[in-house]
Amino acid sequence: MKRLGTYLVWILLSELAGVIGGLATAPAIPTWYATLVKPTWTPPGWVFGPVWIALYALMGIAAARVWIRHRQTSAGKRSLALFGAQLALNAEWPVLFFGLKAPGAALVSIVILWATILALIVWWWRLERISALLLIPYLAWVSFATALNAAIVRLNP
């Protein structure tokens, strides 16, 4: 039961990043974002919410596994700090893109986020392989989001 609580705490912490992003995103979707020129391969808007909810859950499960097995080690503590950094970067991106309406700044931020996720996967590959594997869909989605962000910057000079 204690482990279940640990998993729930980490999942909720991860989902909180999505809530922060959602607060910045929601008002801009029907107004500013609707006016942007987007590439033809932009997914419909309804796709983003479910995908992010699932990805945040996977992030939380991955972090909980590291917490349960490695929180006492220096490698575990440092990797969880890196997890926190990527989570903060994740919450920052929608604030830059939607909140501040700054796709160029958001592009810089998401590239840094992508590199941080990759670093975390590499670290966890040695420390907690299942946690690393749980982050692969997240890296794939952020790769796609980076390409979408770059295309929007290019199409909306």
pTM: 0.95
Evaluate if residue 1 carries a pLDDT over 80: no
Query: Which CATH architecture does the domain made up of 2-155 adopt?
Result: Up-down Bundle (1.20)
pLDDT band per the 50, 70, 90 thresholds, residue 20? very high
- Hey, where are the domains in the chain? 2-155
Distances in whole angstroms, Cα of residue 85 to Cα of each of 3, 77, 78, 79, 154? 24, 12, 11, 10, 28
Cβ–Cβ < 8 Å for 13, 56: no
Distance CA 77, CA 104 (A): 33
Identify the pLDDT of residue 10: 97
Cβ–Cβ < 8 Å for 83, 66: yes
Identify the pLDDT of residue 5: 93
Which three-class secondary structure string do you get for 17-57? HHHHHHHHHHHHHHHHHHHCCCCCCCCCHHHHHHHHHHHHH
Identify the pLDDT of residue 2: 81
Residue linked to tokens 């996967």: 121
Identify the pLDDT of residue 44: 95
pLDDT in tens, 97-146: 999 999 999 999 999 999 999 999 999 999 999 999 999 999 999 999 99
Closest alpha carbon to 85 in 52, 116, 118 = 116
Identify the pLDDT of residue 38: 98
